[in-house]
């Protein structure tokens, strides 16, 4: 076996294709290496004879080779556990240093998500005697990611640690840890936080807690049966060690601090094995720190108490910054109702049945009459009953009992009256009366017959199903009420049908006869829609937008999703006065450099991993100067460079990086030469010291840098050798009078130049090519040659450079003007002044340029990425007109110091807590409202809020009454501050089951929510509100038994929010689950364990206000036992049937796709792919033609893959995309079908 670490590749093409297939130098040497397969995870161990200090392993940890790893999931995705890394490090230590070894300073740097095939590389290099740094890396698309770093150490006798920790007495440990916790409970606790452990990782049998909690946990561990045959292959099986790690989560202090977030291993200070762990039975865990993170020491024991493995300084936490962890929790807990268009199922084979239609109209109900006729056409039996709201309810109830007492009804269909007229102050009153009336009807049904008919309620335009729907406020409470009735009486199968004016009775009749299991439906234009409860992380399109004036406001281009140019977008930014030594420039022109192309595709490599802003060159007019700037003044025309993003209307930069433009040089010309000509001039003149007679190799010579370099070389009297990437460009170079022209995409240029120079080579290489071509250019240099590297890929990839060519006294320069602008800004300014002057004087050429409006930057990037351009591409920045742009959430002014705010329910625990948060965020004036006077505790909190800096006013009154809302607005604006926000959090919560709900109870729950919201709407009509936020309840979203009245009130509030939105008024509704520690539901939250932590809720509240979303549910439902049951009996929640499977949400396209019959998937995917490829390549696509034949290169291929994954969630590899649209669609169908058919994790 010559290449034991190799992987299969495509066979070489015939030799006449002249395609070079070079083996990496390390791979070549492995042919002569000592290779032994030693470990299931590490794989083959390789030692290179010429590098005896270097050890290399190449393993496979994918879920096909290691299927048990699929049971270790983070947020629904299989991930390599930290315990596996620990075992790999221990095995590497034994292989390199022998048994007397240990591992120190383990750092888990990245989470490795596992695919079917997941190759890894492990390297250990001896740094000093007995000290061996170890790294684990993965590769994706040619980019390497370090997953783990550690140091292997020899254990010497002089080390402080004893040879082996003392044996522990198991009986004493069991006696001192009397409180038993089932391992399944610990795993359930972890599962709720996104860490799912399947059967293969059920190694924690029980955990025992010390009296009074203490610092220790004793865990009983056992390797699950199916894995026991593997135990001999490991020092300590990762599943067994992971079970020991799980024991930390059993400690009460740890469970108390985790706050709903992940608890994952982040590092280990010291790890040492004292023998085989195959007989390990217990783990003694000591929690040494429990604050921001957790730290613990573990001793893994055999059945006799002997320590077989010691873990010191195990660090656990989220592995993410506080900001990213908060954002993750927010995305996981946001919910929404989505409406999906569907085909009505075919009529069931059952009999049409008998139907009781109950009309609540005061007059003749045409809808009821039409529905009766439609049902009778299908041979259904229909009985119609009128029960208007002003009827004798006792008599009508008796009549209903008589009707149902005979039995035999398939369903009871309650029809509400269509809305008449526009909403007014009586709309919420009529809405409450309708709720009372439907309760009267519905509560009779379970009492009458044991064989309950199915209950339907029909409403008219009560839901916002489609964009532009204007909901009917009078029926807004029905949805929440029906949800609760369904929860209390599941046998009624309570179902909701919402229709518009265009839907006929025949459609509704067909739905009834189809006996669909759907319980929440709507009809729009005779199309049927069903509602679904969905995970709903905030989407980019839900960010706020604002209109900016190009001449006055800050606006810049940014890439939201690197790799997808459709996400290149304008974003607003705040202009701030320039600081000391800075200027602000109103940009009129900027250029595109290849670095910008790499940034947009996420392939620009930096040492800190952060992607820079787009655009480094600018030309424009100074619009402001900071303190200490004397060389420039407002109104000066300048050109320069800045890392702050020049594809913008304004940019602030170091004044030393800008210089006045000479007469005769336009702004566009200055932008064109800034980087290109400056790079060429500095590289050839200042570094290479070009002179007459020098032979100069200029790569990619038709670009901006190349054109400038040609002019400089000619002016110096040098002989030019140039390359270009295709024949058209090479012809262009020949037309420019260049004799020696070569192909830059082949290394054959080196041999050709060597032949053309009689073996001399060249004196200077201006290099931008990579890999083998770079090395070929280096070897081409003559004695004393100078190599100017202007590319970045090989430098940031730390590519090895052979030193042998340097025996000829060569010089290698890395040229990066961006770094130079940081280290030597004055030199850059002088360089730019020289370039601008020489351009005007004609020494440097006015480059050939192609102009694009800034709004068409994506097209220009594609042109440059495909190498279809000549010279420079210029972006013209507008300074007239207005544009609608994205308002980044962090810039949305939610709480202004120059604004006032109203909080109803403001003297309760939740209201006061959020008032404090608003004050901390800068709210100028806060008016707190409540029906009762503030308590002493409330007064103390108010003083604390005032001390923060906000002006706080208390205005008491019943918000359901008109005068209260008026007084609140008057109080808010009394000091001249405009009213900017309203938080409607007032509530009365009185619970009763359907049989016990009274009109009075409904009124008490209804009034503060519905009447209060309307009064606030009326009173704030002339105020410049930024937001109007109503606190709703998850009881209305999913139905909470016993809360029918409260759910109806909150459901009306949700409908009211959509109605306000339809009037182009700000409105947001948040349906909260139970808050912990504060608010009315503390006891419930503590009982269920599904509490919203106050800080978490405050973050969600503020974040939602920063976005443009009308309605959200927010509740920690993932992992809740009731969710499984709910999903099993209600199609509304079917997306949650497999808990954890939908944590990150589903794209709209994918949701629509999976609703289609599978035979329609290929056609739908072909249309998607054709559209996306057409957008990228700007042409019509034949679905049966290879994409490579259209010129789909690596950059455009990456963009296509990014778009496909964003739309469908299906990951396509670089090799799989080299096919036709039809072939790719079929492949995606297979992948999607396999994913949908895969059994859910146990």
What pLDDT is stored for residue 758 in this prediction?
A: 96
What pLDDT is stored for residue 989 in this prediction?
A: 94
Is the pLDDT assigned to residue 598 strictly greater than 90?
no
What pLDDT is stored for residue 198 in this prediction?
A: 93
- What ranges make up the beta strands (E) of 560-669? 568-573, 582-592, 617-625, 637-641, 650-654, 658-660
Strand-pairing partners, residue 650, are: 586
Average pLDDT, the chain: 88
Is the pLDDT assigned to residue 1139 strictly greater than 80?
no
What pLDDT is stored for residue 610 in this prediction?
A: 67
The full set of domain ranges for the chain reads: 30-154, 170-319, 338-535, 542-669+867-887, 678-851, 890-1127, 1148-1237
Least confident of 63-77, 411-425, 703-717, 1181-1195: 1181-1195
Least confident of 9-23, 130-144, 665-679, 912-926: 9-23
Is the pLDDT assigned to residue 204 strictly greater than 90?
yes
Q: Which of 242, 596, 743, 1090 is catalytic?
A: 242
Strand-pairing partners, residue 930, are: 956
Q: Tell me the torsion sign for CA atoms 1190, 1191, 1194, 1199.
A: negative
Integer Cα distance of 1026 and 1009 in angstroms: 21
What is the average per-residue pLDDT within 136-140?
Answer: 85
- Please choose, from the candidates 167, 308, 175, 191, the residue with its C-alpha nearest in 3D space to the C-alpha of residue 258: 191
- Please choose, from the candidates 1189, 1188, 561, 593, the residue with its C-alpha nearest in 3D space to the C-alpha of residue 865: 593
What is the average per-residue pLDDT within 1092-1117?
Answer: 95
Fold designation for 170-319: Thiol Ester Dehydrase; Chain A (3.10.129)
Is the pLDDT assigned to residue 1053 strictly greater than 90?
yes
Integer Cα distance of 1242 and 319 in angstroms: 26
Alpha carbon separation from 35 to 46, 232, 493 (Å, rounded): 5, 21, 66
What is the average per-residue pLDDT within 742-760?
Answer: 94
Is-catalytic flag, 869?
no
In the sheet that 882-887 helps form, which strands lie side by side, from edge to edge?
A: 544-549, 882-887, 568-573, 554-559
Highest mean pLDDT among 346-355, 859-868, 1193-1202: 859-868
Write out the CATH class of domain 678-851.
alpha beta
What pLDDT is stored for residue 50 in this prediction?
A: 65
Q: For tokens 């070929």, name the residue.
A: 776
What pLDDT is stored for residue 158 in this prediction?
A: 56
Integer Cα distance of 28 and 529 in angstroms: 62
Least confident of 75-89, 551-565, 922-936, 1205-1219: 1205-1219
Query: Three-state SS for 1145?
Result: coil
Is the pLDDT assigned to residue 339 strictly greater than 70?
yes
**449 pLDDT tier (thresholds 50, 70, 90):** low
Q: What is the DSSP string of 549-569?
A: ETTTSEEEEEESSTT-GGGEE
1083 phi and psi angles, rounded to 5 deg: -60, -45
Integer Cα distance of 245 and 83 in angstroms: 8
Integer Cα distance of 19 and 21 in angstroms: 6
What pLDDT is stored for residue 22 in this prediction?
A: 35
Whole-prediction pTM value?
A: 0.76
Write out the CATH class of domain 890-1127.
alpha beta
CATH architecture group of domain 542-669+867-887: Alpha-Beta Complex (3.90)
Residue-wise pLDDT for 1178-1203, tens only, equals 667 778 888 877 767 666 776 677 77
**19 pLDDT tier (thresholds 50, 70, 90):** very low
Q: What is the CATH number of domain 338-535?
A: 3.40.50.11460
- What ranges make up the beta strands (E) of 881-1036? 882-887, 900-904, 925-930, 951-956, 979-984, 1027-1033
- Please choose, from the candidates 179, 23, 147, the residue with its C-alpha nearest in 3D space to the C-alpha of residue 82: 147
Residue-wise pLDDT for 42-62, tens only, equals 998 887 676 778 899 999 999
Tokens representing 415 are 């029809």
Integer Cα distance of 969 and 964 in angstroms: 9
Integer Cα distance of 835 and 844 in angstroms: 7
Is the pLDDT assigned to residue 1221 strictly greater than 80?
yes
In the chain, % of residues over pLDDT 70: 90
What pLDDT is stored for residue 13 in this prediction?
A: 41
Integer Cα distance of 432 and 1053 in angstroms: 12
Is the pLDDT assigned to residue 17 strictly greater than 60?
no
What pLDDT is stored for residue 324 in this prediction?
A: 72
What's 580's DSSP letter?
Answer: T
What pLDDT is stored for residue 162 in this prediction?
A: 56
Integer Cα distance of 1050 and 1043 in angstroms: 10
In the chain, % of residues over pLDDT 90: 66
Is the pLDDT assigned to residue 926 strictly greater than 80?
yes
Domains 678-851 and 1148-1237 share a fold: no
Integer Cα distance of 657 and 674 in angstroms: 11
Pick the more confident residue, 1177 or 712: 712
By the 8 A CB rule, do 854 and 671 touch?
no
Least confident of 80-84, 214-218, 450-454, 1043-1047: 450-454
What is the average per-residue pLDDT within 506-523?
Answer: 95
- What ranges make up the beta strands (E) of 762-857? 762-767, 781-789, 811-814, 849-853
**940 pLDDT tier (thresholds 50, 70, 90):** very high
- Which helix (H) or strand (E) segment holds residue 381: the answer is strand 381-386
Is the pLDDT assigned to residue 1208 strictly greater than 90?
no
Is-catalytic flag, 349?
no
**37 pLDDT tier (thresholds 50, 70, 90):** low
What's 409's DSSP letter?
Answer: -
Q: What is the CATH number of domain 30-154?
A: 3.10.129.110
Is the pLDDT assigned to residue 136 strictly greater than 80?
yes
Residue 111 buriedness (CB in 10 A; 0-12 / 13-18 / 19+): middle
By the 8 A CB rule, do 1197 and 865 touch?
no
Is the pLDDT assigned to residue 772 strictly greater than 90?
no
Pick the more confident residue, 815 or 601: 815
Integer Cα distance of 273 and 306 in angstroms: 12
Q: Which of 39, 55, 72, 437 is catalytic?
A: 72
Integer Cα distance of 283 and 279 in angstroms: 12
Half-sphere exposure of 233 (CA within 13 A, CB side): 15
Determine how many CB atoms are found less than 10 A away from the CB of residue 676.
Answer: 25
What is the average per-residue pLDDT within 1077-1105?
Answer: 77
Q: What is the DSSP string of 309-370?
A: EEEEEEEEE-SS-HHHHHHHHHHHHEEEEEEEEEPPPPPPSS---EEEEEE--SS--HHHHH
Domain at 1148-1237, CATH homologous superfamily = ACP-like (1.10.1200.10)
What pLDDT is stored for residue 801 in this prediction?
A: 78
By the 8 A CB rule, do 583 and 631 touch?
no
What pLDDT is stored for residue 260 in this prediction?
A: 60
What pLDDT is stored for residue 1132 in this prediction?
A: 94
- Please choose, from the candidates 1217, 1218, 1223, 1215, the residue with its C-alpha nearest in 3D space to the C-alpha of residue 1165: 1223
**456 pLDDT tier (thresholds 50, 70, 90):** very high
Question: 772-779 and 748-756 are packed helices; what angle lies between their axes, rounded to 10 degrees?
Answer: 20
What is the average per-residue pLDDT within 847-864?
Answer: 91
- 632-643 in b/e form (b: 16+ CB < 10 A) is beeebbbbbbbb
Residue-wise pLDDT for 959-976, tens only, equals 999 899 999 999 999 999
Integer Cα distance of 673 and 677 in angstroms: 5
């Amino acid at each position: 076996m010559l290449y034991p670490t190799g992987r299969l590749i495509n066979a070489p093409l015939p030799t006449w294709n002249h395609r070079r297939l070079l083996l990496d130098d390390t791979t070549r040497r492995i042919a002569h290496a000592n290779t032994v397969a030693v470990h299931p995870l590490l794989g083959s161990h390789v030692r290179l004879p010429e590098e005896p200090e270097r050890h290399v392993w190449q393993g496979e940890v994918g879920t096909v080779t290691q299927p048990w790893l699929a049971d270790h999931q983070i947020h629904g995705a299989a991930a390599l556990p930290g315990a596996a890394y620990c075992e790999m490090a221990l095995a590497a230590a034994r292989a390199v240093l022998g048994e007397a070894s240990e591992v120190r300073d383990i750092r888990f740097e990245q989470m490795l998500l596992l695919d079917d095939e997941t190759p890894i590389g492990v390297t250990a290099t001896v740094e000093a005697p007995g000290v061996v740094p170890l790294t684990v890396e993965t590769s994706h698309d040619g980019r390497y990611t370090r997953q783990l770093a550690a140091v292997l150490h020899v254990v010497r006798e002089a080390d402080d640690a004893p040879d082996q920790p003392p044996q522990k007495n198991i009986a004493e440990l069991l006696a001192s840890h009397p409180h038993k916790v089932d391992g399944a409970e610990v795993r359930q606790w972890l599962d709720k936080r996104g860490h799912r452990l399947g059967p293969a990782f059920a190694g924690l049998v029980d955990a025992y807690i010390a009296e009074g909690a203490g610092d220790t946990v004793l865990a009983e561990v056992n390797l699950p049966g199916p894995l026991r045959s593997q135990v001999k292959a490991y020092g300590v099986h990762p599943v067994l060690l992971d079970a020991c790690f799980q024991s930390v989560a059993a400690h009460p202090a740890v469970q108390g601090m985790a706050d709903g977030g992940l608890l994952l291993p982040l590092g280990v200070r010291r790890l040492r094995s004292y023998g085989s762990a195959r007989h390990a039975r217990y783990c003694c865990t000591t929690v040494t720190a429990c604050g921001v993170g957790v730290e613990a020491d573990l001793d893994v024991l055999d059945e006799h108490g002997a320590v077989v493995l010691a873990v010191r300084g195990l660090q656990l936490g989220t592995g993410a910054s506080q900001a990213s962890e908060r954002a993750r929790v927010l995305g996981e807990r946001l919910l929404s109702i989505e409406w999906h268009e569907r085909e009505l199922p075919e009529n069931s084979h059952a009999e049409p049945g008998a139907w009781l239609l109950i009309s609540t109209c005061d007059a003749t109900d045409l809808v009821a009459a039409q529905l009766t006729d439609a049902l009778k056409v299908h041979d259904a039996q229909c009985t119609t009953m009128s029960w208007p709201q002003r009827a004798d309810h006792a008599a009508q109830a008796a009549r209903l009992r008589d009707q149902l007492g005979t039995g035999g009804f398939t369903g009871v269909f309650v029809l509400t009256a269509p809305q008449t007229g526009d909403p007014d102050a009586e709309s919420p009153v009529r809405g409450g009366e309708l709720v009372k009336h439907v309760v009267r009807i519905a509560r009779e049904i379970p009492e009458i017959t044991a064989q309950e008919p199915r209950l339907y309620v029909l409403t008219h335009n009560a839901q916002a199903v489609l964009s532009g729907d204007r909901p009917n406020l009078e029926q807004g409470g029905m949805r929440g009420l029906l949800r609760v009735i369904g929860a209390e009486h599941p046998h009624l199968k309570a179902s909701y049908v919402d229709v518009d004016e265009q839907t006929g009775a025949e459609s509704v009749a067909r739905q009834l006869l189809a006996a669909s299991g759907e319980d929440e439906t709507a009809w729009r234009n005779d199309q049927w829609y069903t509602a679904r409860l969905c995970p709903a992380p905030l989407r980019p399109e839900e960010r706020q937008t604002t209109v900016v004036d190009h001449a006055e406001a800050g606006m810049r281009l940014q890439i939201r999703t690197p790799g997808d140019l459709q996400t290149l977008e304008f974003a607003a930014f705040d202009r701030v006065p320039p600081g000391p030594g800075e200027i602000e420039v109103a940009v009129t022109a900027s250029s595109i450099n290849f670095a910008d192309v790499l940034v947009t595709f996420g392939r620009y490599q930096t040492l800190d991993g952060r992607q820079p802003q787009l655009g480094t060159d600018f030309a424009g007019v100074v619009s402001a100067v900071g303190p200490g700037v004397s060389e420039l003044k407002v109104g000066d025309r300048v050109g320069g460079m800045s890392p702050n993003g020049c594809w913008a209307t304004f940019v602030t930069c170091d004044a030393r990086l800008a210089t006045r433009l000479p007469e005769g040089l336009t702004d566009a010309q200055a932008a064109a030469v800034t980087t290109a000509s400056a790079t060429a001039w500095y590289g050839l003149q200042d570094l290479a010291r070009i002179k007459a007679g020098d032979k100069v190799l200029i790569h990619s010579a038709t670009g901006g840098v190349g054109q400038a370099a040609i002019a400089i070389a000619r002016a110096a009297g040098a002989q030019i050798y140039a390359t270009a990437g295709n024949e058209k460009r090479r012809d262009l170079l020949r037309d420019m009078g260049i004799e020696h022209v070569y192909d830059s995409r082949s290394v054959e240029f080196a041999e050709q130049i060597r032949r053309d120079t009689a073996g001399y080579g060249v004196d200077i290489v201006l290099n931008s090519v990579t890999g083998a071509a770079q090395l070929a250019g280096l070897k081409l240099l003559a004695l004393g040659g100078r190599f100017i590297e202007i590319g970045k890929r090989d430098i940031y990839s730390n590519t090895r450079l052979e030193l042998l060519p340097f025996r000829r006294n060569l010089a290698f320069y890395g040229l990066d003007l961006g770094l130079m602008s940081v280290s030597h800004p004055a030199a850059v300014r002088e360089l730019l002044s020289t370039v601008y002057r020489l351009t005007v004087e004609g020494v440097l050429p006015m480059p050939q340029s192609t102009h694009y409006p800034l709004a068409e930057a994506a097209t220009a990037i594609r042109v440059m990425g495909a190498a279809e351009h000549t010279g420079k591409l210029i972006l013209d920045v507008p300074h007239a007109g207005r544009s609608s742009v994205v308002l980044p959430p962090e810039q949305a002014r939610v709480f202004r110091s120059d604004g006032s705010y109203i909080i109803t329910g403001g003297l309760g625990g939740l209201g006061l807590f959020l008032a404090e948060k608003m004050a901390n965020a800068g709210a100028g004036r806060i008016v707190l409202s409540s029906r009762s006077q503030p308590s002493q505790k409330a007064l103390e909190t108010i003083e604390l809020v005032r001390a923060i800096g906000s002006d706080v006013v208390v205005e008491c009154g019943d918000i359901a009454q008109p005068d209260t809302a008026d007084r609140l607005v008057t109080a808010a604006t009394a000091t001249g501050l405009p009213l900017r926000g309203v938080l409607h959090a007032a509530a009365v919560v009185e619970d009763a089951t359907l049989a016990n709900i009274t009109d009075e109870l409904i009124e008490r729950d209804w009034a503060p929510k519905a009447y209060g919201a309307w009064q606030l709407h009326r009173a704030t009509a002339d105020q410049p509100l930024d937001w109007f936020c109503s606190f709703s309840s998850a009881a209305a979203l999913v139905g909470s038994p016993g809360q029918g009245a409260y759910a109806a009130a909150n459901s009306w509030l949700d409908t009211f929010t959509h109605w306000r939105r339809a009037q182009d008024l700000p409105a947001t509704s948040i349906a909260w689950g139970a808050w912990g520690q504060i608010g009315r539901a503390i006891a419930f939250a503590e009982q269920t364990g599904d509490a919203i932590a106050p800080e978490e809720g405050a973050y969600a509240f503020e974040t939602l206000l920063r976005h443009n979303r009308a309605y959200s549910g927010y509740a920690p439902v993932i992992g809740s036992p009731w969710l499984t049951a709910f999903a099993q009996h209600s199609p509304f929640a079917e997306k949650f049937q497999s808990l954890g499977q939908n944590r990150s949400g589903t794209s709209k396209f994918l949701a629509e796709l999976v609703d289609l019959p599978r035979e329609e998937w290929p056609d739908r995917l072909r249309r998607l792919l054709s559209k996306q490829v057409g957008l990228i390549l700007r042409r019509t696509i034949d679905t049966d033609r290879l994409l490579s034949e259209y010129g789909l290169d690596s950059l455009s291929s990456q963009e296509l893959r990014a778009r496909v994954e964003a739309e469908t969630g299906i990951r396509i590899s670089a090799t799989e995309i080299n096919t036709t649209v039809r072939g790719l669609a079929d492949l995606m169908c297979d992948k999607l079908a396999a994913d949908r058919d895969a059994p859910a994790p146990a």
